[in-house]
Amino acid sequence: MRLVSIERVKPGDELGQSILGADGAILLREGVILTETYIKRLKSIGVEYLYIKDDNLDDIKAQDTEFLQLKSQAVRSVSTVFSKLQYNNVNEVRNTLDTILNIVEYLLENKDINSTYLLELKTFDNYTFIHSLNTCVLALFFGVNLNYTRNMLVDLGMGALLHDIGKTKIPSEILNKKGKLTPEEFEIMKKHTVYGYDIVKNINYLSERSRLVVLEHHERYDGSGYPMQLKGENISKFARIACISDVYDAIVSDRVYRKGFLANEAYEFILGGSGTFFDMELVKIFKDNFSIYPLGVCVKLSNGLEGFVVKHNKGLPDKPIVRIIYDERGNSIQPLEIDLAKQTNITIVNVIV
């Protein structure tokens, strides 16, 4: 399958990876033949990119159905929790603990899962809940690479999944504003960290390190964050992990007021924030284990050819294996693969979606 812009999708294309709706249910399932109606609907809810089946890339598989089901359950769980916790109803959080434990078990059993499969595609309709899920799964991926215990991973996952719960207390006209916030509005928005901590602090079966993720995920390593301008290791380790996970997923997302970064641009942003916004140790883990280029994305090479990313080289995120299936004139050729880790004179110069 290949990753393409919705603008390049045509009726008759086959969906390569299922799309989750706002409630966690599958909006469109892998294998559906896309029609003009489906494409218009996907555009209307903010879908910008999706995976399409491609016989030349049939070795790039959709995410595992078990993992998709776990993420679907997590989205349903977090949407329920968000609606209940703002009214101080904490009963639903116990179910969320079970959901997080299931995701933890999956990631521990599949430690070598490609980071391409971690993130769910977002629409404007499901942004809040899918962002919470993505932040959670990215944070857990960090934790697995740090060899955290199951209990630590569950605490990390719970804090990351609930990190934005305080936004339920922010006025909707600020939360959903289509333009840049005024300084006054931004000050109100910043309060969501404290509001969130107030919501979760009395849930006695939620650990304090989970609660601190909710409170501190906008703190920055150099002390420039909020709400307390904490610095360095005075910020809890789990919050420092959630910070990178939250920022990365937020900036790759299209919003009503701006286009998202391409994955390689977001990657460079995280690396550029090492030691200022972000913990240097964690940025190194990010650099060594996260993929810049999603599997199936088309890239242009410095030799003038275009190809598709089909595999990543661990520890060399900017040097994947690229499959060439067309020549410079766009004519089909016998597929050939270029390993950029070995062909060091060839680099990626652009991403084409």
Tokens of 306: 């275009």
In this structure, the answer to whether residues 303 and 179 fall within a common structural domain is no
Please give the residue that has the higher pLDDT: either 259 or 140: 140
Judge if 153 and 13 occupy the same domain.
Answer: no
Please say if the pLDDT value at position 62 is more than 80: yes
Do 81 and 209 fall within a single domain? Answer: yes
- Looking at residue 256, what is its pLDDT? 56
pLDDT at 90: 65
Among 40-54, 110-124, 198-212, name the one with the lowest average pLDDT: 110-124
Can you give the pLDDT at residue 1? 94
Assess contact for 3 and 54: CB atoms under 8 A. Answer: no
Distance CA 270, CA 248 (A): 7
Residues 8 and 108 in one domain: no
328, 323, 288, 327: which is closest to 309 by C-alpha?
Answer: 323
Q: Give the closest residue to 211 by CA, choosing from 225, 196, 192.
A: 196
Q: Is 350 within 8 Å of 299 (Cβ atoms)? A: yes
Kindly state whether residues 140 and 262 are assigned to the same domain: yes
In the predicted model, is pLDDT for residue 178 greater than 90?
Answer: no
pLDDT at residue 86 greater than cutoff 70:
no
DSSP 8-74: G--TTPBB-S-EE-TTSSEEE-TTPBP-HHHHHHHHHTT--EEEE--GGGTTSPPPPHHHHHHHHHH
User: What per-residue confidence (pLDDT) applies to 332?
Assistant: 86
Rounded to 5°, the CA angle 115-214-101 comes to 50
Query: Which residue did the predictor score with more confidence, 264 or 152?
Result: 152
Which of 30-39, 211-220, 255-264 is least confident? 255-264
Q: What angle do CA 26, 109, 205 make, to 5 degrees?
A: 75
**Whether residue 285 is found in the same domain as residue 304:** no
Query: Rounded distance, CA 103 to CA 273, Å?
Result: 29
Q: What is the CATH number for 204?
A: 1.10.3210.10
**Residue that is last in its domain, among 289, 316, 335:** 289
**What is residue 87's predicted lDDT score, i.e. its pLDDT?**
65
Please report the pLDDT score of residue 125 as a whole number. Answer: 77
One DSSP character per residue, 253-271 reads S-BTTBPPPPHHHHHHHHH
165 lies in the same domain as 257 = yes
**Integer Cα distance of 319 and 340 in angstroms:** 5
Q: Cα Rg for the chain, rounded, in angstroms? A: 20
Q: Are residues 19 and 161 in the same domain?
A: no
Are residue 249 and residue 207 in the same domain, yes or no? yes
For residues 171 and 40, what is the distance between their CA atoms, to the nearest angstrom? 31
End-of-domain residue from the set 239, 254, 289 = 289
Residue 9: give its domain's CATH number. Answer: 3.90.105.10
Written as six digits, the tokens of 183 are 């300084």
For 264-286, what is the mean pLDDT? 94
Tell me which residue range forms the domain holding 26: 2-57
236 shares its domain with 139: yes
| 102: Cβ contacts below 8 Å, ≥ 6 apart | 70, 73
Nearest to 122 by CA among 293, 8, 252: 252
Q: What is the pLDDT of residue 240?
A: 98
Whether 159 and 211 have beta carbons less than 8 Å apart is answered as yes
Alpha carbons 174 and 112: distance in angstroms, whole number: 40
* The model's pTM: 0.89
CA end-to-end span of the chain, whole Å?
13
Q: Are residues 305 and 280 in the same domain?
A: no
Handedness of CA 213, 215, 220, 222 (dihedral sign): negative
Burial class (CB in 10 A: 0-12, 13-18, 19+), 127: middle
Q: Residue 68 is which amino acid? A: L
List the structure tokens of 316.
Answer: 């060399």
Among the three residues 11, 33, 57, which one is the final residue of a domain in this structure? 57
Alpha carbon distance 82, 166 (integer Å): 9
The answer to whether residue 257 scores a pLDDT higher than 90 is no
Residue 329, pLDDT score: 81
| Mean pLDDT, range 142-155, rounded to an integer | 95
Contact criterion met (CB below 8 Å) for 79 and 21: no
Instruction: Tell me how many domains the chain contains.
Output: 3
Write the pLDDT tens digit of every residue in 1-41. 999 999 999 999 999 999 988 888 898 999 999 999 999 99
What pLDDT score does 15 carry?
97
Question: 10 Å Cβ neighbour count for 60?
Answer: 24
Rounded Cα–Cα distance for residues 11 and 345 (Å):
39
The closest alpha carbon to 216, from 230, 232, 198, 205, belongs to 230
pLDDT of residue 258: 60
Are 28 and 19 within 8 A, CB to CB? yes
Least reliable range by pLDDT among 15-29, 81-95, 130-144, 274-288? 81-95
Task: Identify whether residues 347 and 232 lie together within a single domain.
Answer: no
What is the share, in percent, of the chain residues with pLDDT greater than 90?
64
